[in-house]
Structure 1
Amino acid sequence: MISPASAPVPTTSSASASTRGRIGVLLVNLGTPDSPKTPDVRRYLNEFLTDARVIDMPAAVRYPLFQGLVVPLRAPKSAKIYQQLWDERGSPLLYHGLDLQKLVQEKLGKDYLVAFGMRYQNPSIESALQELRDAAVERIIVLPLFPQYAAASTGSVQEKVMDIVGKWWVVPSINFIGTFADDPGFIQTFAHLGLEEMKKHDYDHVVFSYHGIPERHVLKGSHKGHCKLGNCCNHYNKNNRYCYRAQCFATSRLLAEAMGLTPEQYTVSFQSRLQSRLRDPWLQPYTDEVLKDMPAKGIKNVLAFSPAFVADCLETTIEVGAEFKEMFEQAGGAHWQLVPSLNSHPMWVDAVVDMIQQN
């Protein structure tokens, strides 16, 4: 019989330390074709536009309509646009994501393992999660790189991660960072980039252009019918924390404050609406319509932001940076300048590290 005095004393040093694994971090962005060639663009669009969270139609309608009609018609046109975007490093959305992964890994150190995946195409979320699984990480922090939560972006990533991990026999603890629309580091970095551009030119007005979504997406996710697509979005609180529109307005207010702008000096608008025969209204006002009216009002020099994106891509570089610039100048505007996205700016790297460590 072992007496109490001689019983072994539990220790918490080597034994417990040896069971601890690194913390896994999964950074996720939307996706990109493997190349700007039409077949690769078609594969990308097929996966993207048949996601039920992006196109919320019944599958019996969604697949025939988009795989059979929309994607075949759209792929060749989109491929030409992607060819304008591609550079010597390939797709900006991909290489900026990989750069961010590398720099965040260096900042976090050996106690973390940072993986990067895309919701659509490559590198896939599944391959990134498998990397973390193979490393026997203790738990996983998932950061979808979409500042403002939308069911079609962040929600789709969350659903995909849960679908994959739900099939594992051992499911680790997982923490999702669902939104960072008002994160101080995110705001400060974008404001810094904007102020740097303002040193180069005098601007009459600032446009904060966000990716659009159908109004029904906002209403479907409304907490107890709180959202009315009106003035309720002027205040960001627990009732509309996951309302995409309210988050866009919150980001804009914080950016304006950080840059010293008054409400009269900036406009919030929405871009990239998908035209459909259903003619469902998307969030308004539409950026392409707003900018055409500005020169007649005496607004000739505009600084444009795309705060729904943290990496430059087709929607920033081509749509806001080139297409909107051409529209603005044709309407009589003198100067339209896009603020570059956060990409792998040191301040943004620090902001991502802070969000991960806080979670």
Structure 2
Amino acid sequence: MESPVLYPSVNKSKPRGKTGVLLVNLGTPDSPAVPDVRKYLREFLMDGRVIDIPALPRFLLVNGIIAPFRAPKSAKTYREVWTDNGSPLKYYGEVAERELQQRLGTDEYEVKLAMRYQSPSIPDGLAHFQRLGLTEIIVIPFFPQYASATTGSVYEKVMDIVSRWQIIPEIRFVNSFLDHPKFVEGFAQLGRKYMAERAYDHYLFSYHGLPERQIRKGDVTKQVCKLGSCCDSLTAMNQHCYRAQCFETTRLLVKALGIPEGKYTTCFQSRLGNDPWIKPYTEDVIKELPKKGIKSVLAFSPAFVADCLETTIEVGEEYKEVFEEEGGEHWQLVESLNDSPIWIDLLEDLVKSKAYR
């Protein structure tokens, strides 16, 4: 006996509203002034997925120590990256919003940029969608690799807001896109530009770090994560592990660029506090390179799709100084995807792969 066909046909001719596309990046202060930077740090670091400790200790740590003392130093750094267009991270997000809207057209799609912290905000973007009576919403966090503190936080914020709506449209999320061919090719194109100019002794792939405890929390089996060789391949059991996804990103880029084995390193930057973070640490790796006779390095930051403090300043300038102090001679940062056409191509692919239309 044949199984009944529950949905023999799908009626796509029924009335449909637009598809909303919410592009979400981490966030940036409204200005490099100390009060705005302090406000940003407070919102960012009070997120329980970013500093995953109980609420009261987190409140005391952020508002009593980190924000007051870190804000002036961070403000100075933000002034270094600020341009006539404002924050590069926000500016490139605005370009992506505008370019993607042009690609998709206005008849069927509505594209909005939002930041997880500060403005333009996720609540404002979703409120705009709600007023339009959309049929569906597609949320694209600008994080190539999934992490609870980034993509997971976006999910939580969006779901918290829409859970209070009377009518909730269909919502789809992009979980990660590190293995999308256009993401890999986008960074490979940028790398080839510098590789054509000169030969490099070594290639560094530096990713934003996370506390080890957050990686372990993600291993619901409590058996897979060893924070070591378990990341040598991406499997069904570690597919959502941030560290494993970063190593997979490196493998894909190394293959696309034809980099020989032994001439590249995957490492992690931006530690905060005294708890152990995922290793190897970028700064420690850099200090050892000149001792091995490595004099020139091409550095990638494939956890970021838009240039920001962590790319331009940390990898591009601070790590360059460390490398040269240890005897290195040439350090080159590969910029992020920013406003490159292939990045907009990638976003268009992500939307159309998720859209019902």
Specify if TM > 0.5: yes
Let me know the Cα RMSD of the aligned residues.
Answer: 1.1
Partner Cα distance (1:48, 1:97) in 2:
18
- 2:262 alignment partner, SS class: helix
Following TM superposition, where does structure 1 have runs of at least 4 consecutive aligned residues deviating by more than 6 angstroms? Answer: none
Matched residue, 2:110: 113
- 2:148 alignment partner, SS class: coil
The counterpart of 2:52, out of the listed 40, 56, 65, is: 56
Q: Deviations over 1:146-182 (max 9, x none)?
A: 0010000000000000011111111111001111121
Matched residue, 2:271: 273
Partner Cα distance (2:57, 2:334) in 1:
39
The counterpart of 2:237, out of the listed 231, 236, 239, is: 239
Partner Cα distance (1:223, 1:205) in 2:
36
Identify which range, 205-214 or 322-331, moves more after superposition: 322-331
Amino acid across the alignment from 1:155 = G
- For residues 74-85 of structure 1, the aligned pairs below 5 Å read 74-85=70-81
- 1:190 alignment partner, SS class: helix
Amino acid across the alignment from 1:107 = R
Matched residue, 1:67: 63
Identify which range, 67-76 or 128-137, moves more after superposition: 128-137
Gaps of 5+ in 1: 1-11
Matched residue, 1:337: 332
Asked if residue 189 in structure 1 is aligned to residue 195 in structure 2, the reply is no
Q: Deviations over 1:22-69 (max 9, x none)?
A: 111110000000000000000000001111000011011100111112
Amino acid across the alignment from 1:224 = T
Matched residue, 1:283: 278
Aligned 8 A contact 1:223 1:240 in 2: no
Partner Cα distance (1:20, 1:263) in 2:
52
Would you say how many aligned residue pairs link Structure 1 and Structure 2? Answer: 342
Aligned 8 A contact 1:212 1:272 in 2: yes
Gaps of 5+ in 2: 1-10
Asked if residue 352 in structure 1 is aligned to residue 347 in structure 2, the reply is yes
Partner Cα distance (1:229, 1:353) in 2:
35
Asked if residue 320 in structure 1 is aligned to residue 318 in structure 2, the reply is no
- 2:237 alignment partner, SS class: coil
Amino acid across the alignment from 2:157 = K
- For residues 288-307 of structure 1, the aligned pairs below 5 Å read 288-307=283-302
- Give the Å deviation of 1:80: 0.4
- Give the Å deviation of 1:223: 3.7
Asked if residue 90 in structure 1 is aligned to residue 86 in structure 2, the reply is yes
Matched residue, 2:98: 102
- Give the Å deviation of 1:351: 1.0
The counterpart of 1:132, out of the listed 125, 129, 134, is: 129
Partner Cα distance (2:74, 2:28) in 1:
12
Partner Cα distance (1:296, 1:69) in 2:
37
Partner Cα distance (1:325, 1:349) in 2:
30
Partner Cα distance (1:332, 1:230) in 2:
29
**What's the % identity of the aligned pairs?**
56
- For residues 142-181 of structure 1, the aligned pairs below 5 Å read 142-181=139-178
- Give the Å deviation of 1:201: 2.0
Bigger CA radius of gyration: 1
Q: Deviations over 1:221-258 (max 9, x none)?
A: 11412211121111112111110000000000000000
TM-score, length-normalised on structure 1? 0.93
